[in-house]
A and B are shown apart, each in its own frame.
Chain A
Amino acid sequence: MSVGILALGAANSRSIVHALQRAGAEAVMLERPEQLAAVGALVLPGVAHVGYLIQALDRGNWRAPVLAAIASGLPTLGICAGFQLLCTRTEEAPALSGLGIFSGTVTKLRGEKIPHMGWSKVEARTSAFESGWAYFAHSYAPPAALRETLAITQCGAAFASAAGTGSVTGVQFHPERSAEYGARLLQRFVRMVREPAYAG
């Protein structure tokens, strides 16, 4: 059972591979959409300009297969810009469309110092999510009022630091860089990994 990481040219994919391995999963980089069928979970990684990610998604013909995989119930985790990619739109790249799994527009943060960089409190809005301290590094974020919000964090105003619907979770922080709190989140994600659709 392996977790596939979408290779869209995000900077920190390797950190995510290692963090998933620490959480007990096998992690593979997905270079082509056909490879989606062989994994039991999907990570959309996130150190990148979201416009760059969306363009890479469409250039690599990932959009339809990723949406189909999500629709089939494949456990999916979007991290940072990967979370933003799951939203409908973003102010950072207004001409482009996200995947639309979370129904909202990602907006620019209005804190005193932007990017929001460092450790902040994640405040769960549901007992299904854990509160704790996580590492953030971003200038844009999904709105707190997202219908699917699981947790919020303050930076100037509140934003959605985690959201979930069905088998999809998005987190604005970096679980791979959030010490024990992030490790627990990844462990929970790894426990959801299912058998791949086709064994061969």
Chain B
Amino acid sequence: MPAKRIIACLDVKNGRVVKGVRFEGLRDAGDPASCALQYCREGIDELVMLDVSATLEGRLAALQTVERIASEIDIPLTVGGGVRGEDDAVAILDAGADKVALNTAAVEDPAVLQRLASRYGSQCVVLSVDARRANGGYQVATRSATQATALDALQWARIGTALGAGEILLTAIDRDGTREGFDLQLIADFSRALNVPLIASGGARNADSFADALAAGADAALAASVFHDGLLGVAAVKQRCRERGIGVRP
């Protein structure tokens, strides 16, 4: 088993990091590549870049951003957000991303997972599942969580992995940005039922909340704002995980 991972997420819009990043000593805290490098120095295990641009120009800028980040960092980079299909995924991987994360495009055309996996291998294809609590269970939402679907989240994750997704990025929408802690029940259910690695997202609060998510079965725990806002350092999170007996990369 590999070490459990701590992942930072950069939300990028029109080539700039949005959601304030308060790194000290950075000349330009809105520059994605500078932020990415700073996270590397702090010992983050992996980066996720989410493109939240709404326009075509924004998405093209995002591709250049992927290229810049990928050329400077020496840890893995996953890119998601606004991936409309196979062509976008290929462009993102060509720009230097190690993995591509799909949500809406996969819901609308599940076979895209199969096509990407047969060319690049499953380890390159991440299925992003935005899960919202509904009717006593969890349902998949698409289009940046603005659109509800009738898909059961776990059922959909099973289908996605059978088609070729090699990793699940599971976001508990009800926890996203709330700092209430990760949804441990959701994580445990997914981890038990799936045989691919699971990245838990949504609700990061303090160092213990990461350890909780990893102990509940997540293989990686992701956060954006607690890191961006400087509330929490990567080293402190890893230290707490080690104290609780969770193996992380030194």
- Check: A81 CB closer than 8 A to any chain B CB: yes
> Is A119's CB under 8 angstroms from B93's CB?
no
> Is B117's CB under 8 angstroms from A113's CB?
no
> Is A139's CB under 8 angstroms from B123's CB?
yes
B66 nearest in chain A by CB position: A14
B-side contacts of A182, CB under 8 Å: 74
B-side contacts of A136, CB under 8 Å: 2
> Is B195's CB under 8 angstroms from A18's CB?
no
> Is A52's CB under 8 angstroms from B67's CB?
no
Q: Which of B26-61 contact A (CB under 8 A)?
A: 40, 45-46
B-side contacts of A177, CB under 8 Å: 74-76, 98
Q: Which of B55-87 contact A (CB under 8 A)?
A: 67, 70-72, 74-76
> Is B250's CB under 8 angstroms from A115's CB?
no
Give the tally of cross-chain contacts (CB within 8 A): 124
Number of interface residues of B (CB under 8 A): 41
Candidates A9, A12, A118, A183; contact of B5 at CB < 8 Å: A118
How far apart are B165's CB and chain A's nearest CB, in angstroms? Answer: 10
A-side contacts of B14, CB under 8 Å: none
B-side contacts of A12, CB under 8 Å: 93, 96, 98
> Is A15's CB under 8 angstroms from B197's CB?
no
A-side contacts of B99, CB under 8 Å: 137
- Check: B219 CB closer than 8 A to any chain A CB: yes
> Is A118's CB under 8 angstroms from B71's CB?
no
B-side contacts of A137, CB under 8 Å: 76, 98-99, 123-124, 166
How far apart are B161's CB and chain A's nearest CB, in angstroms? Answer: 10
Candidates B3, B74, B250; contact of A120 at CB < 8 Å: B3
CA distance A193 to B249 in the complex (A): 31
- Check: A116 CB closer than 8 A to any chain B CB: yes
Candidates B70, B71, B75, B195; contact of A114 at CB < 8 Å: B195
- Check: A67 CB closer than 8 A to any chain B CB: no
A-side contacts of B195, CB under 8 Å: 112-114
CA distance A138 to B123 in the complex (A): 6
- Check: A107 CB closer than 8 A to any chain B CB: no
Further pairs besides A14-B96, A112-B195: 18, Cβ < 8 Å: A11-B94, A11-B124, A14-B71, A15-B71, A18-B70, A48-B121, A49-B119, A115-B166, A115-B167, A118-B45, A118-B46, A120-B3, A135-B76, A137-B99, A155-B2, A174-B76, A176-B74, A178-B75
Q: Could you pull out 26 A-B pairs where Cβ atoms are within 8 angstroms? A: A11-B98, A14-B70, A15-B70, A15-B71, A18-B71, A18-B72, A18-B96, A47-B93, A47-B120, A48-B119, A113-B195, A113-B196, A113-B219, A115-B197, A116-B2, A117-B219, A118-B4, A118-B197, A120-B1, A120-B2, A136-B2, A137-B76, A137-B123, A137-B124, A155-B2, A174-B98
